[in-house]
Chains A and B, each alone.
Chain A
Amino acid sequence: MESTKTPTKKTHNSELGSCLYCNTDLLSGNSFCSNKCEKAYSEINNSETKKAEGSELFSVFAVPDSDNSYSLTLSISNIHCASCVQRVERELYEHEGVLSARVNMSTERLTFSWKGDKKYADILAQSVVKLGYGLIPFGDTESKDGHQDQERLLLRCLAVAGFAMGNLMMISIGLWSEETKLMGAATQGFMHWISIIIAIPAIIYSGRPFFYSAVSVLKKGHTNMDVPISLAIILASGMSFFETINHGEHIYFDSALMLLFFLLIGRYLDIRAKGKARESAQKLLSKLKGTATILDKGKQKVIPIRDLKEGMKILVSTGENIPVDGTIYKGISELDVSLITGETIPKTVQEGDSVFAGTVNISAPIRITASKASENSLLGDIVKLMEQSEKSKARFVRIADRAASLYTPIVHFMGLLTFVGWWALGISWQLALLNAITVLIITCPCALGLAVPVTQVLARGMLFKNGVLLKSGDALEKLEKVDLVVLDKTGTITIGKPELIEAKYSNNELQMAASLAVNSNHPLSKAICRAYTGDLLEINEVKELPGMGMQALLDGQEARLGSANWCGNSSNKETETLELWLNLEGQKTCFKFIDSLRSDAKDVIKKIKKAGLEVSLLSGDSKPIVKEVAESLGISAYHAQLTPIEKFQYIESMKKQGRRVLMVGDGLNDAPSLASASVSMSPSTAIDISQNTADVVFQGEKLAPIFKTWRVAIKTNKLIKQNFTIAVLYNIIAIPLAIFGYVTPLIAAIAMSGSSLVVIGNSFRLNLIKG
């Protein structure tokens, strides 16, 4: 079949003078045009994976379109810049039959469609993988799309309401001004009819989010904020319609639309905030799907990870994730276990060692026997724990909802009372209804509908400028009540990057070590290279031995840089510090490293304690290391050698004691604890799964955002409470006036907007926080 011909990989012009990555012509002799390209290039070359050919991993997810064509959406990683987008799209377009190819940078999705066979998807996807981009299929796109539809609906409603409100205001100014008296009755009538033509469709269109919600809640026998809103809008427009037909005076379409417009703004801001959180959760889900290469009767076969069974033999090549918990039966390598323990230094493993799913094989291919089915792996357990915690978290009732559940029955009752009361007093039903509508409008819960989102959006914006991303809408509310701060050690209060300590080594030795280390990707080697700034020696034939170190011949002499044992240091005492040894012609030098603390860790912890919060430290590291760190920071409560499950249990037990826990962590080992804690934070260097779980993600090399966020949270909640107070005071004054008929709906709408403005203005005081 012509459409399934083997992909023709484009040959890139890689001669001197153009960027190795994006082919931009270069004037200088550099290999790359920018740092971004260099980073992307090295990442691609590191992550080059070799999957067995002829698999059907992607095609099963393809969706048939009309007339013999299919489309497929995949999650794509390593997209950094425009040239990445261009490379991927061009690559796909070079294949015959490809109808469209589009990379979405914001959501990191690749969507393409093609004509022909369904299985062609695998060839297309493989060609992109060969460029070095990670592709992961994901099955369920529905939940996201449903959410997106909702967001779009609100945006459309907002646009229509805004349009209608603007035009109605324009007409209303004419109608309400003093000169109206000079206006002929025909002109007035004309303007009222124009108002109707604009308002009725706009209200029907834009009011839908409120109407649907109100109807669905009423069906279940409850009530929410949308019920009085819908009622007020419907009554006000029905009344105005009636009045227009009868050439009456009480026409208040503009108030109804103004109400809708303001409420829709609040609603839209709210859904955007929630959407952001949901998007990142989706990314997490797609990361957990993928494939593994198994050896079945001597043949290589690629199967989805979820189909892995106990006892299967799995081949894990360099750069691949270990797909399932198991035992190594062949090969020596180093694993990046940072996902599980947060430890950045690779762990050396060999035959007989057990390995955990989610760790990355760095140096050499290994073969493992699966000891559990994939859903029972440690990674699976962690995800399960997280899911459970997330569910229990959903029970948190937001302050606005609590207030609404108190507020709505009162509003309804008062509206009804007003109508019945006036009617019983014997005035016309229109006037009685008018007063009731006024009550509904004037009590309009703007403090609830608008001011809470506005305060939160302001807080969010302010934190964002400080490098803090609020992911869940209720994070700030939950932060306020926190009384215990639990910190993870590695990667959270330390930077997670080893640094060379000044010790007993000569400059020559450092030069030698750096010249060897430059050939390795090991974190300790990188640390040596960072510490050394001079010229490097030229060494040929450097070999990297997995789990041992670097080896090279220099003037006929063997030079080694690596672990203590391998470099001939037989004393072999278990030292607590990280070290590398250099063996040069029998002379041994030791390089020591520490994982340094974040520069402001001590300061921030002091501030947190001063603010009356307790601090405790959790770590998977050995006791002496944790003790040293805890003491240097002045933390008295610390727990060492904890597994992810034990960390989780610690948080749970604290919660049982009635504590409100803020967890700050970065590794996969922290993920269940992050999910379980009342509220959680993660540095942006954390792995995706932790960032996705955390309510708050902060950037930068400092811990200060933790304290800053807490302070903003306190202030935000104070402002929200003030806003409620303002709203209640306003209602206490306005409601009696409305009940007794001193207020028209227009004045009510203006008063309502006025109170909203006061509340919004009050929210802006958030920006006054210093430091």
Chain B
Amino acid sequence: MDVLIFLIPVALSLGLIGLAAFFWTLNNDQYEDLEGAANRILIDDEKIDK
């Protein structure tokens, strides 16, 4: 059972990484314009140096 001391935190931190990633995407407005995102992949290189 000793291995649990090690495994449970590992399992939890993996879950937390996923959760953090989701929060990050949400805070970065990545779900704001799903239609636009789908279309933008069709645009060739945007030559904007700013």
Q: Chain B, 1-15, contact with A by CB distance < 8 Å: what is the 0/1 string?
A: 100110010011001
CB distance from A82 to the nearest CB of B (A): 4
CB distance from B42 to the nearest CB of A (A): 4
Which of B22, B32, B46 has a CB less than 8 Å from the CB of A86? B46
Given contacts A81-B39, A83-B43, A106-B33, contact A170 B11 (CB under 8 A): yes
Q: Complex Cα distance A183/B50, Å?
A: 61
Given contacts A105-B33, A167-B11, A171-B8, contact A187 B1 (CB under 8 A): yes
Closest partner residue, chain A, to B32 (CB atom): A104
Main secondary structure of the interface of B (DSSP, over half): helix
- B window 1-45: CB within 8 A of A: 1, 4-5, 8, 11-12, 15-16, 18-19, 22-23, 26, 32-36, 39-43
- Residues of A within 8 Å of B4, CB to CB, are 187, 190-191
Which of A82, A85, A155, A163 has a CB less than 8 Å from the CB of B15? A163
Given contacts A93-B48, A163-B15, contact A107 B42 (CB under 8 A): no
Interface pair B26/A93, CB less than 8 Å apart: no
- Residues of A within 8 Å of B43, CB to CB, are 82-83, 85-86
Interface pair B35/A184, CB less than 8 Å apart: no
Given contacts A159-B19, A163-B19, contact A85 B32 (CB under 8 A): no
Interface pair A156/B23, CB less than 8 Å apart: yes
CB distance from A197 to the nearest CB of B (A): 9
Which of A86, A93, A184, A194 has a CB less than 8 Å from the CB of B50? A93
Q: Complex Cα distance A183/B2, Å?
A: 12
Interface pair A107/B33, CB less than 8 Å apart: yes
A196, CB-defined interface residue at 8 Å: no
Number of A interface residues in the complex (CB < 8 A): 32
Main secondary structure of the interface of A (DSSP, over half): helix
Which of A104, A152, A156, A184 has a CB less than 8 Å from the CB of B33? A104
- Residues of A within 8 Å of B34, CB to CB, are 106
A90, CB-defined interface residue at 8 Å: yes
- Residues of A within 8 Å of B15, CB to CB, are 163, 166-167
Q: Chain A, 103-122, contact with B by CB distance < 8 Å: what is the 0/1 string?
A: 11111000000000000000
A198, CB-defined interface residue at 8 Å: yes
A451, CB-defined interface residue at 8 Å: no
Closest partner residue, chain B, to A109 (CB atom): B33
CB distance from A648 to the nearest CB of B (A): 35
Interface pair A105/B36, CB less than 8 Å apart: yes
Interface pair A85/B36, CB less than 8 Å apart: yes
- Residues of B within 8 Å of A106, CB to CB, are 32-36
A72, CB-defined interface residue at 8 Å: no
Closest partner residue, chain B, to A155 (CB atom): B26
- Residues of B within 8 Å of A156, CB to CB, are 23, 26
A214, CB-defined interface residue at 8 Å: no
A734, CB-defined interface residue at 8 Å: no
- Residues of A within 8 Å of B35, CB to CB, are 105-106
Interface pair B1/A82, CB less than 8 Å apart: no
A160, CB-defined interface residue at 8 Å: yes
Interface pair A105/B39, CB less than 8 Å apart: yes
Q: Chain A, 72-114, contact with B by CB distance < 8 Å: what is the 0/1 string?
A: 0000000001110110011001000011000111110000000
Closest partner residue, chain B, to A184 (CB atom): B1
Q: Complex Cα distance A614/B36, Å?
A: 44
Q: Complex Cα distance A107/B33, Å?
A: 7
Closest partner residue, chain B, to A101 (CB atom): B48
Q: Complex Cα distance A167/B18, Å?
A: 13
Given contacts A93-B50, A190-B4, contact A167 B12 (CB under 8 A): yes
- Residues of A within 8 Å of B32, CB to CB, are 104, 106-107
- Residues of A within 8 Å of B8, CB to CB, are 171, 191, 194
Which of B1, B16, B36, B48 has a CB less than 8 Å from the CB of A103? B36
Interface pair A198/B12, CB less than 8 Å apart: yes
Closest partner residue, chain A, to B33 (CB atom): A104
CB distance from B17 to the nearest CB of A (A): 11
Which of B18, B42, B50 has a CB less than 8 Å from the CB of A82? B42
- Residues of B within 8 Å of A198, CB to CB, are 12
- A window 259-291: CB within 8 A of B: none
15 A–B contacts from the bound complex (CB under 8 Å)? A82-B43, A85-B39, A86-B43, A89-B46, A93-B48, A105-B36, A106-B34, A106-B35, A156-B23, A159-B22, A160-B19, A163-B15, A163-B18, A187-B4, A198-B12
List 6 additional contacts besides A85-B40, A159-B19; criterion CB under 8 Å: A103-B36, A106-B32, A156-B23, A190-B4, A190-B5, A198-B12
Interchain residue pairs A-B with the least CB separation, the first 9: A105-B36, A82-B39, A82-B42, A104-B33, A106-B35, A105-B35, A163-B19, A106-B33, A86-B43
